[in-house]
Structure 1
Amino acid sequence: MNTTDMAMGLFRVCLVVVTAIINHPLLFPRENATVPENEEEIIRKMQEHQEKLQMEQLRLEEEVSRLVAEKEALRQIEDEDQQQQLEAHTTWDLWSTLCMILFLIIEVWRQDHQDGTFPDCLGADEDELSGPGGAPLRGLPLPNRATLDHFYEHCIRSATGDATRTREFVEGFVDDLLEALRSICNRNTDMEMEDFIGVGSMYENWQVERPLLCHLFVPFVPPEPYSFHPEFWCSRLSMPLERQGYGQIKVTLADGDSLGCICGKTKFGEDMLCLLHGRNRGAWPRSGGSNEMEDLLCSRESSYLDAMQVMKWFQTALTKAWHRISHKYEFDLAFGELDTPGSLKIKFRSGKFMPFVLTPVIQCNDSDLYFTSQLPKEPCRGAPASNTDWLLSFAVYERQFLRMTAKALPEGACHLSCLQIASFLLSKQSRLTGPSGLSDYHLKTALLHLLLSRQAADWKTSQLDVRLQELFCFLERSLLEKKLHHFFVGNHKVPEAMGLPEVVRRAEPLNLFRSFVLQRTLYRHTVDSFYEMLKNAPTLISEYSLHVPSDRASPPPKAVAL
């Protein structure tokens, strides 16, 4: 019951009481009653009493009206407060949503549609480059040129002095190994191996890490009448981000007809393998078929080449080839890393070892591009989406560009010295804080961009300290912007004399740091590790200049015997 009802109930009780009093027989006798002598006095008192009751009624009505008005006012205030809170909450949610959408639009635009060349710190003010704790990059100075020269001569040049002998030994052995592999294959029905191609830092003359590692590409082609047709990711209308930089290899007949099988027309050797079918020589699987496919090089129910199957086939072929010639050598051969198909290691009886990598690759038409089955080592580059995705390698073009550029540079140019020192510092930092998203390939990519932007005279030997500082400046800007474009893909500044395929030149630039946008933990660790490397660089270079370690070789990894 509310206040209004209580007031009305009290008013009614008072009326009943007054009515009862007025009509009481003692006050108004009806029969044979004698009128009191003081009748006028009684009437006067009754009138006064009636007036008092009317006054009380008016007061009660005013009180009830006041209470009702107060209650209505309180209810209106509460309703207004609730409405204001609801409007404020709705407005905040709306602004939060709009801000989030705006932030995502800006981020997508910055990553995908921002035009212009690769972040260039060549003409930027060094004060704008923030280092650890907000300090500018130039606040972490590298040692002077004399210290850098001494460090390079005693810690880098001396460590790579036997690179030529290492290459000659490995190349001679690989020639013999591939010749043995060809001898056990039927040239009419099995894969055909071509001559190897040296790639990577060992053949670009800037490798620093010990032991020295030769990386060799081994192109292979299918037997007749099959042929390989590479498909670039950039030649398609749409491609998921994780598959950019990859491609697929379609297996067709040489005349361009759809994929078929010739195992019914050609007699295979006992150890030979049909490109499409396993040892059961079953028919190409149809929907609902029960035929099993074993040891296929093509993906199941697909005409695209399977990278994992090629890895297994290549390792098996290498094992057979080694067993054929092992009696000629006084050392053992073992597989090094199981996730790399051709990671091999020569083990001498003295306990020393010599690693090298043979990677099966497929040439892209008549260019120097190669599809490789080797999985990427960089944490910031994800694994391929499927087994039919092959990583596109520009290693041969990179080697050719460095050779072509070196011809125009002054004698004793410092470009490779900068790359070697940066690679040395990165390897030492990785041992201290673990691997990060920054790799030697990113260092080389940054150097290639600088070589294309700088004049030849800027790479004199006397400019080593300036160019090294500039290289780190370039990497810092790239990390802060999360953008490092691939040197060849979509780069119109690359000389046409390189012979790069037009489909690659016209492609959208490929950002090697794109994964940092989503992998925040990896990005934070990479940035912290980079600044820690810059901070430790002066002390590290000075220490290694005075105390050159006697044993630079890292402990040999576990090997799997062939």
Structure 2
Amino acid sequence: MNVGQDTARLLAADLSAAIQIMALAFVFSLLAQRVPCVGDYLDEETLNRMRQREVYLQEQMTKLLLEIEEMERAQGRMGLQALLFALLPYWKTVSVLCLFIFLFWFVWKIHKKFRGVEDDSDVESSSKDGELMLSLLRYLIDICQYIVADTFYPVPAHTTGVGSVYEGWCPLVNEPVFCMVVSLLAPRGHTFHPDLGTPGELPARNSRVRVELECTCGREQEMRMRCFLHASAEELRNQQSNLLHSLCTDSYLDVEKTTQWFQKLIGNAWKCTHLSAVCSMNVTQSKRSCRLQVTDVYKKIFLVEMLFGVQQDDTDIFLSSQETEVGTTPSTTWPQSCAVAEAKFFLLVAARAEERNFYIRYMQVCAYILVGLNFSDYELKTVLMHLLTAIPLESWHGSYFLERIDDLLRYLRCCVEEKHLGHFFIGNEDVPAEIILPQDFRESEPLNLFQHLEDAERHEQALQELEELQDRLMSLLIYGK
């Protein structure tokens, strides 16, 4: 590059010097014609010739000045051409540099929306709010355990935060709902037996919780009760009714009866706290969950939904009070839920990664661009979980953001084209060993979440929506919306 510039500079200097010499020659010539020697006599004809010569020289001088200006402009063009000529061998490097700057701008745009200082503070604030609500509900559960200690009602045990808020990617357009699963244990003298319903169906949608009485003979003093199975009616007259008579229908634990009982229980527990003097809690009527509206001292409102779950053996799978996807769920139906296992998976990923909540921005972007389309958040979350186990965690931090987002959409496209998206916890050998699953989950054939795409019309619609997803992502990256 320096050689080309020096060459152009030398040529321009030589031309400029030549022009200056020519200009001086014309000037001296003009002066020689204009100034007569002392004592010389000039006749009329000579004077006319001198005047004509003067006009001619002025014209030539004007022409020369114009040529000088043109040469100066040419000098500038030659310098630029020399510079471009010098840069020619490096065009590949320049192109890569420009591409890098363009991609960096892309990343900056998306980080500004989903990972900037304000967004980080929002995520941190949401995380703190979630922990606050979880601590509050666990405190209330401790009080509930004390209240039911001498009864024959289910015992609320540990509480687990589940769903988008506790996984960190709550959709930006929605009011956050702090969802929790409250594990219920059988009261003394009772046992819970999961009935998985339809054979071979995973996860079981028609599962139920059968309640049975157990013999407590010989432990009556220890358990502070008479045996429901072998004590006489006279002996049981002064004892509270068993669970079969209070919250069950046909020997199965009834979700709606359990919900009504728990709503009263949590309200009584709230009255026992000192918080009731500065905060308020309202219980919203619901058939299959306990929904709360908590208002703190600063008048900030928190929406909480408490689901009930009966643990299946010692696994991370629960029979849950959540509503099934199709129609109205019978009151004795407790469908299998993987919500606790999903929450545990993301905790494991966060613990192993250098950047604790790196996956949040991926799910936030996916939730943002999915609005109005038929793809569900759960389907995109399943894609993300599959890729988190397939791609090393160190390849997920900020500098790889665009590559990983592209991987998510490519994986989804492959699944749509093949009409198959495998359930993450059923028939998947890559589930971390720390997550405890029932044996039939591990031995089963992979469950296809895209079974509905066998319908040609729905498959065509899914392919079209994939294009829409790609367009929305590009719009988000370029325009931030």
What TM bracket, shorter-length normalisation?
Answer: 0.5 to 0.7
* Pairs within 5 Å for 1:232-243: 232=196, 237=199, 239=201
CA–CA distance in structure 2, aligned partners of residues 413 and 190 of structure 1 = 39
- Corresponding residue of 1:49: none
Provide the residue aligned with 1:535 in structure 2. 471
Match of 1:187 among 121, 136, 150: 150
User: Out of 405, 426, 451, which is 1:514 matched to?
Assistant: 451
CA pair 203-253 structure 1, distance change in 2 beyond 3 A: same
1:147 aligns with 2:97: no
Q: Secondary structure at the match of 1:466?
A: helix
User: Superposed, which structure 2 residues align to 1:84-483 within 5 Å?
Assistant: 144-154=106-116, 156-209=119-172, 211-232=175-196, 237=199, 239=201, 244-254=204-214, 264=233, 265-266=235-236, 274-278=242-246, 297-299=247-249, 302-325=250-273, 328-336=276-284, 338-348=286-296, 352-376=300-324, 381-383=325-327, 386-411=330-355, 414-426=358-370, 429-430=371-372, 436-483=373-420
Aligned to 2:437: 500
CA distance in 1, matches of 2:453, 2:441: 24
The one-letter code matched in structure 2 to 1:153 is: R
Q: For 1:248, give the aligned amino acid.
A: R
Secondary structure of the residue aligned to 1:366 is coil
CA spacing shift, 1:220–1:461, aligned 2, 3 Å: same
Aligned CA distance change for structure 1 residues 520 and 191 (closer, same or farther; 3 Å): farther
Residue of structure 2 equivalent to 1:90: none
Which residue type is aligned with residue 161 of structure 1?
A: E
Other-structure match for 2:9: none
Residue identity matched to 1:508: E
Amino acid at match of 2:243: L
| Closer/same/farther in 2, CA of residues 231 and 373 from structure 1, 3 Å limit | same
The residue type paired with residue 367 of structure 2 is S
Distance in structure 2 (CA, Å) of the matches to 1:497 and 1:348? 37
Q: For residue 170 of structure 2, give the secondary structure of its aligned residue in structure 1.
A: coil
8 Å CA contact retained: 2:211, 2:244: no
Distance 2:248 2:461 in 1: 39
Shift of 1:544: 4.2
CA distance in 2, matches of 1:320, 1:226: 24
Paired with 1:387 and 1:518, the residues of 2 have a C-alpha distance of 32
* Bigger helix share: 2
- Secondary structure of the structure 2 residue equivalent to 1:538: helix
Report the counterpart of residue 98 of structure 2 in structure 1.
Answer: none
Distance 1:479 1:180 in 2: 49
Q: 1:184 to 1:385 in 2, by over 3 A?
A: closer
Q: Secondary structure at the match of 1:362?
A: strand
Deviations 1:337-376 (A, max 9, x none): 7355122111357653111222111111112221110114
Deviation at 1:471, TM superposition (A): 0.7
The offset of 1:152, in angstroms, is 2.2
Q: How many residues align?
A: 366
Deviations 1:17-39 (A, max 9, x none): xxxxxxxxxxxxxxxxxxxxxxx
CA distance in 2, matches of 1:222, 1:451: 37
State which drifts further: 526-535 or 466-475.
Answer: 526-535
> In 2, are the aligned partners of 1:151 and 1:541 still within 8 Å (CA)?
no
Matches within 5 A, 1:12-27: none
Bigger Cα Rg: 1
SS at match of 2:182: strand
1:58-97 deviation digits (Å, cap 9, x = unpaired)? xxxxxxxxxxxxxxxxxxxxxxxxxxxxxxxxxxxxxxxx
Superposed CA offset, 1:152-175 (max 9, x none) = 223642321212431343133213
Is the 1:307–1:373 Cα contact (8 Å) retained in structure 2? Answer: yes
The residue aligned with 1:45 is none
Paired position in structure 1 for 2:80: none
SS at structure 2 position matched to 1:224: coil
Distance 1:382 1:329 in 2: 42
The answer to whether the 8 A contact 1:484-1:513 is kept is: yes
8 Å Cα contact 1:148-1:465 kept in structure 2: no
List gaps (5 residues or longer) in structure 1.
1-140, 279-296, 431-435, 546-562
Percent of matched pairs sharing the same residue:
24
2: distance between equivalents of 1:263 and 1:530? 67
- Superposition deviation, residue 472 in structure 1: 1.6
The one-letter code matched in structure 2 to 1:306 is D
1:536/1:387 Cα in 2 relative to 1: closer, same or farther (>3 Å)?
same
CA distance in 2, matches of 1:360, 1:413: 27
Any unmatched runs of 5+ in structure 2? 1-102, 217-227
- Tell me how far apart the structure 1 counterparts of residues 232 and 471 of structure 2 sit (CA, whole Å): 64
Q: Secondary structure at 1:229's aligned position in 2?
A: strand
| CA-CA distance at 1:443 after TM superposition | 1.7
C-alpha contact (below 8 Å) 1:484/1:511 kept by paired residues: yes
Letter in 2 for 1:249: V
Counterpart-to-counterpart distance in 2, 1:255 and 1:519: 57
Q: TM-score, normalised by structure 1?
A: 0.57
Distance in 2 (alpha carbons) for counterparts of 1:497 and 1:445: 18
Q: Please give the secondary structure, in 2, of the residue aligned with 1:215.
A: strand
The separation in 2 between residues aligned to 1:543 and 1:339, in whole angstroms, is 44
**Farther off after superposition, 218-227 or 156-165:** 156-165
Which whole-Å CA distance do the structure 2 matches of 1:355 and 1:385 have between them? Answer: 23
Residue 226 of structure 1 and its aligned partner are, at CA, apart by 0.9
RMSD: 3.7
What secondary structure does 2:412 align onto?
helix
